Amino acid sequence: MTPIEIALEEARAAAARGEVPVGAVVTDPAGAVLGRAGNRVEELHDPTAHAEILALRAAAAARRSPRLPDCTLTVTLEPCPMCAQAASFFRVRRVVFGAYDPKGGGVEHGARIFQAASCHHAPEVVGGVREAECAGLLRDFFARLR
By CB under 8 A, name the one of 29, 120, 143, 146 that touches a copy of itself: 120
Instruction: Check binding of 104 to a copy of itself (CB under 8 A).
Output: yes
Q: Residues 1-40 vs a copy of itself: string with x where CB under 8 A?
A: ----------------------------------------
71 annotated as belonging to a binding site for a ligand? no
Residue 81: Cβ-neighbour burial (10 angstroms; 0-12, 13-18, 19+) = middle
CA separation (Å) from 138 to 16, 17, 21, 33, 114?
Answer: 12, 14, 6, 24, 25
Q: Are 57 and 24 in contact (CB under 8 A)?
A: no
- Residue 52 catalytic? yes
Binding residues for Zn(2+): 50, 80, 83
- Catalytic center residues: 52
